[in-house]
Amino acid sequence: MLKETDRWIAGDQYGLAMPADPAALRDGGPQFLTDAFRVAGTLTADNVVTGITEFREVAGGSTGRKVALTVEYDKAAVGLHTDLFVKFSRDLDNPIRDRGKTQMEPEVRFASLSRVPGFPIAVPHVQFGDYHRRSGTGILITERIRHGEKGIERQFHKCLDYELPEPLDHYRALLTALARLAGTHRSGRLPAGLTSHFPPDAEAATVADRAPLSPEKLGRRLTQLAEFATAHPGLLPGHVGSPEFVARLREDVPRIAHHEDTVARQLATDSDYVALCHWNANIDNAWFWRGADDVLHCGLMDWGCVSQMNLGMAIWGAMSGAETEMWNRHLDELLHLFVAEVRRCGGPELDPDRLRRHTLLYATVMGVAWLLDVPALIRKRFGADIPANRTDPRIKDDESVRAPLQMLSNLLNLWERHRPGDLLDDLAVADTPRTARNQVGLLEHSICDPFCL
């Protein structure tokens, strides 16, 4: 176990002592960066990092510390970035944040994969990355994406899509990038020695555990949801408080919870629909630019917990914070786009309707586990003075409130339009007791705090 006073530890891949936090990185200075970039093959033996001209700690995220760096080299060269972003797996001063330290292990492995020539999507260029599994200590140094500069659009934040220009173009770009990675992976064109680090069960990528909800607790949450929707109609879709919809929830939700593992097994074993992908490609984990063809393109960042997964999970991860109108008006178009791009990149021939079912099943299982307590979260935050709508600055300016609220709205909207209880019937699930929660690692990976990254 890494002690709080031990700020340096050797990584498993390169064996180089690496800093565990920003203070250690500052102490290591240009010498550490020179050694790290050389051992990773980023820097040639006749070149050095001569100085650090900016060192700024960056707040945000739910795990690890982060630093923005600007460095100088003795010799400029192609692929040597001066504006850098540093992620640490650890937050040694915050035990709660430090619990997420294991998320970086697959991210470091993915960083190595992304350096393969011809990698199919844009990701931040990797300068160095390593991880020490026994302690959970890791560091990842990449180029820093400069939003709003050199043709890159400004940064967009999660669940503020009502301020997003041309939202459909942005979601086309997001789903195209996801499909391109999934299709290329399934084509077999990525090196097997590197993709083997991402097994289909993805059990090691679990972000968080939660205790199964008892029928009594589920019932209380549904009652609270119905009361909240009636008292605050501007915060949730209009149908949520209707007796008919509440009755449907009371019938469906216990069944979804009861058959969580059966749904997980279905999603994990439908092998054509499982591929390496980003599980949280929300709008804030991407950057966008227009090419010479005037088509909007995007790159994806923040690859914590990257793994092979059911592609319905990837689609929900990308669209969970969208406006409900995006789901209602454009879901079919986006699914057909995704399917076509997977096939164009050498992946299997997918059925858009089947992919929609997978997306809905994943969303409802995840939502039952994590989103039904959003009314309680809002009441705890605001007491009797609850905002009337989500554009109120108290919600708009607080991602920890606006994100779960918008995701819950999307979940309930999908529940009304697509009736996930009927999807369970289509699966012909048997009324058998829940199996062990860890039986199927793929969905166990997904049943986690959906806004933790």
Query: Is residue 360 over pLDDT 80?
Result: yes
Delimit the domains of the chain by residue range.
Answer: 8-143, 161-446
Q: Kind and range of the H or E element at 411?
A: helix 399-418
- Spell out the alpha helix ranges (H) of 41-103: 95-98
Provide the pLDDT for residue 167. 98
pLDDT of the residue at 372? 95
To 5 degrees, how large is the angle CA 229–CA 212–CA 95? 95
Strands 137-143 and 126-132, by their bridges, are antiparallel
pLDDT interval class at 422 (50, 70, 90): confident
| Among 103-117, 131-145, 360-374, 439-453, the least confident range | 439-453
**How much of the chain, in percent, has pLDDT values that exceed 70?**
91
Is it the case that residue 433 has pLDDT exceeding 70?
Answer: no
Reduced DSSP (H G I as helix, E B as strand, rest coil) percent helix, strand, coil of the chain, to 5: 50, 15, 40
- Residues 65-107 have pLDDT tens digits of 999 999 999 999 988 999 999 999 999 989 989 999 999 999 9
Give the least confident one: 24-28, 154-158, 265-269.
265-269
Give the other-Cβ count within 10 Å of 70's Cβ.
Answer: 15
Contact 327, 204 (CB under 8 A): no
pLDDT band at 211 (very low <50, low <70, confident <90, very high): low
pLDDT at 209: 54
Give residue-wise pLDDT tens across range 147-170. 999 999 999 999 999 999 999 999
The CATH code of the domain at 161-446 is 3.90.1200
Residue 428 has what pLDDT? 52
Mean pLDDT of the chain: 90
What per-residue confidence (pLDDT) applies to 221?
A: 95
- Bridge partners (DSSP) of residue 290 are 296
pLDDT for residue 210: 62
pLDDT score at 265: 87
pLDDT average, residue stretch 339-348: 98
Indicate if the pLDDT at residue 201 is higher than 60. no
CB of 92 closer than 8 Å to CB of 4 = yes
Out of 19-33, 190-204, 224-238, 267-281, pick the least confident: 190-204
What is the C-alpha to C-alpha distance for residues 234 and 433, in angstroms, rounded to an integer? 38
The hierarchical CATH code for the domain 8-143 is: 3.30.200
pLDDT at 322 over 80: yes
Mean pLDDT of 416-432: 73
Choice among 40-44, 65-69, 123-127, 304-308 with the minimum mean pLDDT: 304-308
Q: What is the mean pLDDT of residues 22-37?
A: 97
Mind listing the pLDDT tens digit for each residue in 172-182?
Answer: 999 999 999 99
Both structure tokens of 180: 């391109």
Q: What is the pLDDT of residue 61?
A: 76
| pLDDT tens-place string over residues 217-254 | 999 999 999 999 999 999 999 889 899 999 999 999 99
